Amino acid sequence: MQNLNEHNITDEVVRRLQRVPSPRLQAITTSLIKHLHAFVLEVELTEEEWFEGIKFLTATGQKCDDKRQEFILLSDVLGVSMLVDAINHRKPSGATESTVLGPFFVAGAPRMKMGDSISKDGKGEPVYVSGRVLDLEGRPVAGAVLDIWQTSSDGFYDVQDPGQPEMNLRGLFTTATDGRFFFRTVKPSSYPIPTDGPVGKLLLALGRHPMRPAHIHFIIGASGFEPVTTHMFVAGDDYLDSDAVFGVKGSLVVPFTRHDDAASAHKLGVDNPYHTAEHDFTLVRKSK
């Protein structure tokens, strides 16, 4: 019988993984154990601190439901989501950069015609968003589907706010042969990630703010191309340099230009005054 202590227990735990049938699972678990044990040794974790960590993870799980994923939120604020994203979505120069999915994506957004408004209640400053979906050679991508969602002008997603219509500020659009897309919406605002759970308490304890800069979410996919999950950030937002989830990339920051022109507003189908935002997305073909 081996006498286990702080100097040899890590090797013994790893030794017992020798018969794991999956090489990948063995590699991941071995690395996890080594790093976790090294962390405990480095900070000399007390029993009280260890138990607080257990309670924190328990509370994180208890906060999750079909509309709220607190573990994704935890991953986001620790920068893990963006690190995993960066590793798994290395792209060639010129391709649209990816960023975090976020905890408020909802499958099944309504399909819409180009030019439709995704705002069901019309509350907020009108915005006309347009652009193209292209390949790396600059050619238009036909049949690209854009899954779009955003917060209201008050900074809440529909699933957070019972006062909003269901599926408000969400929509699916499909490009034609010219690769162009255009839709109407309202200007999003910067907003705090949920702070009523354990992740919010953690941010408070760390002295960090919970704010995300204003943005519109996109998932863009087309046959023969790799899909991309990305954002369109509002230029000039106060939180672009301190996004709580580390998701901002310079190539995704877009001017939202204000206009005061009643005739142009009428032509675009928006109220005056209004904003325009234009941005192209570039997809990468799947390798054969």
Identify the residue whose tokens are 């994704």: 72
d(CA 174, CA 181): 8
Residue 234 pLDDT > 90, yes or no? yes
* pLDDT of 288: 72
Residue range 75-285 forms a domain whose CATH class is: mainly beta
* pLDDT of 176: 96
Segments making up each domain of the chain, as ranges: 1-45, 75-285
Mean pLDDT (whole number) for 160-180: 96
Per-residue model confidence as pLDDT tens digits over 246-267: 999 999 999 999 999 999 999 9
d(CA 261, CA 253): 25
Tell me, yes or no, if the pTM score tops 0.85: yes
Mean pLDDT score across all residues of the chain: 96
Per-residue model confidence as pLDDT tens digits over 107-132: 999 999 999 999 999 999 999 999 99
Cα-Cα-Cα-Cα dihedral sign, residues 107, 108, 113, 115: negative
